Structure 1
Amino acid sequence: MLNFLYKPIHHGSYCTLRAPQKLYSAKTLPLLTLRYISSTSNQHSFTEGAISASKHVNFETPDKADLVISFFKNHGFSQTQISSIIRRYPPLLLSNPQKTLLAKLEFFQFKGFTSSDIVMILTRNPHLLKRSLKNQIIPSFDFFKNLLGTDENTVISVRRFSAILVEKVDTRVVPNVNLLRENGIHESGICTLIKNWPRVITTDQVRFKEIVEEVKEMGINPLRASFVQAVSAIRGMNKSTWERKVNAYKRWGLYGDEILVAFAKNPCCFRASEDKIMRVMDFLVNKMGLEASLIVERPSLISMSLEKRLIPWASVIQFLQSKGLVKKNFYLPTAFEYVEELFLQRIVFLNKEEASEFLQLYKEKMDFPE
């Protein structure tokens, strides 16, 4: 264990640490200073990126670095993940795992994050590890918990965008939350937005206000759940992307007003890529013989999986129709919007004896348990 004083010297986006004795660096001893400790081999292997990043960190011996690497390895991080973390935050090699890292992992575990959650979050955002647990991470978690109601909801939100734990909530989040409240959005709607699309609530105030005004101009009622969905959808695309998706719908004969009606009903129809829009429309119109205007009535169909929902479920109904077990005039889009349990009860299990052979094929195709 090393006990000496370091003096930090900042160089732009990184710092070196000065000690009174001769220092080693990755430039002179790359394999010594960046050893990856393996339980099955004595070979040391770090990516060139991690070695390059470590050139911004100097230390006397590799002992501290080895402790950090061993700490991550013992907590389920792979070699690739450790390398990624070191590459993005080299000074981490100089930290004391028991004093600065362990408490943060224990906090996340206590709040309900799984081990795999923690690995994913810290690999994606290693700069969380340099933030104060007491002064930043815990207050931020508690702030969002007050909005979302439970630890569980907050965990879900952090999984989706861990940077909310390091945002300046007073200047980046509170003004946007207040704007939503001023426009009549219920607390449940605000909770939905932060839980499902946490990045949106950290949008620059000016841009966020523009988005809210744009959604209001579309005539979407702030009291409806679709309002915050629309805010999120618009936040996720620029004007040119919006126009390309509008044009994708227009290619199927839909008018601008119809497209806006569909968006107002279910903004998720604009979360799909242009390719997805075209493929779903092609399936519904050309393969199933339905009218393109169906999307105005049921825009949620666009967000459904072709491979796991639309195509296999249509095949089920067509098969049962061929056996005379489902009426020929059955309105297929209704079935598409069933949850799977309801679809099985109303369409498949109702005809279990007559179609037992097909049921087995269906279970295998959909990976449905016996």
Structure 2
Amino acid sequence: MIIARSPTLLCRSLKNHLIPNYNFLKNVVIHDEKIVKVLKNMLWLFSLKSKNFGPNIAVLKDIGVPQSQISFLVTNMPRAAYSKHYKFCKVVNRVKEMGFNPTQTVFVMAVGVINQLKESVWESKFEVYRRRGWSEDETLAAFRRHPCCMQISEEKITKVMDFLVNKMGWLSRDISKWPEVFTYSLEKRIVPRCFVIQVLLSKGLIREYKSPLAYLKLTESKFIEKYITRFQEKVPQLLDVFGGKIDFLDIYHEFQRSGK
């Protein structure tokens, strides 16, 4: 199926092109399953005689980016790794100037994100967050924590902010400390989990969290085990709240009426 999507590979020399490309890529990402991932995402790159890939990887090695982080970039953001060398160097220098540590994953994530975004888009994202109450410093701090927050659509940012600020009562500036939240599904993850937590808080079964990400970051099975199954007998409706069949406010009002 991979070859069917890019038949031009069959026109390339096995000895002079495909095998050398494979060997070079394998030296970077190490594992064959990661090579397959790269091919599935950006197969056309493998068919090119790229003059940029090797020098770009060398730049990262020269500034101390670990092999594991280089592998992460190539596997998850291959377009950046294959971008024009002068542009790649410019982006890397910009990320360094922003204070990112080359030994951490967020460094290569920032390289991938900035490489992808046009300057006009970068500025427009700052404006989106500004309209939602963030200062420029808060937006930059959020980017340093989780660079992918600058790739989120304006519509998604607005919906998540509206729910968390207007429905859940979070402070807008506090959300900048947990920018990962924008990468989660609003309908499938954020809303049902927040509603379950609100039910448990209103019942006095759990304490308020300093970081809401404590429950948003959990896998679904862990969340269900810790916050639904554990309290199923005391609050039988929890699973329906989690599934969106009952609004948490209905449960809250029921508790108020019963005096529990």
Q: TM-score, normalised by structure 2?
A: 0.85
The CA distance in 1 between the partners of 2:123 and 2:244, in whole Å, is 41
Note if contact 2:29-2:35 (Cα within 8 Å) is conserved in structure 1.
Answer: yes
Higher helix share: 2
Deviation at 1:326, TM superposition (A): 3.3
Runs of 4+ in 1 over 6 A off after TM superposition: none
Deviation at 1:330, TM superposition (A): 4.0
Q: Which position in structure 1 is the counterpart of 2:24?
A: 143
Q: Which position in structure 2 is the counterpart of 1:164?
A: 45
Measured against aligned partners, the alpha-carbon deviations of 1:84-137 in whole angstroms (never above 9, x if no partner) come to xxxxxxxxxxxxxxxxxxxxxxxxxxxxxxxxxx2xx34543322322334322
Q: Which position in structure 2 is the counterpart of 1:266?
A: 146
Identity %: 38
Residue segments in structure 2 that go unaligned for 5+ positions in a row: 246-260
Q: Secondary structure at the match of 1:161?
A: helix
Note if contact 1:160-1:197 (Cα within 8 Å) is conserved in structure 2.
Answer: no
Note if contact 1:266-1:300 (Cα within 8 Å) is conserved in structure 2.
Answer: yes
Q: Secondary structure at the match of 1:285?
A: helix
Alignment map for 1:270-309 (pairs within 5 Å): 270-309=150-189
* 1:337 has 2:217 as partner: yes
Q: Which position in structure 2 is the counterpart of 1:212?
A: 92
Q: Which position in structure 2 is the counterpart of 1:179?
A: 59
Alignment map for 1:229-268 (pairs within 5 Å): 229-268=109-148
Alignment map for 1:317-336 (pairs within 5 Å): 317-327=197-207, 329-331=208-210, 332-336=212-216
The CA distance in 2 between the partners of 1:224 and 1:340, in whole Å, is 27
Q: Secondary structure at the match of 1:293?
A: helix
Alignment map for 1:95-134 (pairs within 5 Å): 118=1, 121-122=2-3, 124-134=5-15
Residue segments in structure 1 that go unaligned for 5+ positions in a row: 1-117, 366-370
Note if contact 2:77-2:112 (Cα within 8 Å) is conserved in structure 1.
Answer: yes
Note if contact 2:192-2:244 (Cα within 8 Å) is conserved in structure 1.
Answer: no
Deviation at 1:345, TM superposition (A): 2.7
Q: Secondary structure at the match of 2:169?
A: coil
Largest Rg, 1 or 2: 1
Amino acid at match of 1:187: Q
Q: Which position in structure 1 is the counterpart of 2:192?
A: 312
Amino acid at match of 1:125: S
Deviation at 1:360, TM superposition (A): 6.1
Deviation at 1:300, TM superposition (A): 0.6
Q: Secondary structure at the match of 1:346?
A: helix
Amino acid at match of 1:215: V
The CA distance in 1 between the partners of 2:198 and 2:238, in whole Å, is 12
Q: Which has the higher contact order (CA 8 A, sep 6+)?
A: 2
Q: Which position in structure 2 is the counterpart of 1:152?
A: 33
Q: How many residues align?
A: 244
Q: Which moved more, 1:314-323 or 1:352-361?
A: 352-361
Q: TM-score, normalised by structure 1?
A: 0.61
Amino acid at match of 1:254: W
Note if contact 2:196-2:241 (Cα within 8 Å) is conserved in structure 1.
Answer: no
The CA distance in 2 between the partners of 1:167 and 1:130, in whole Å, is 11
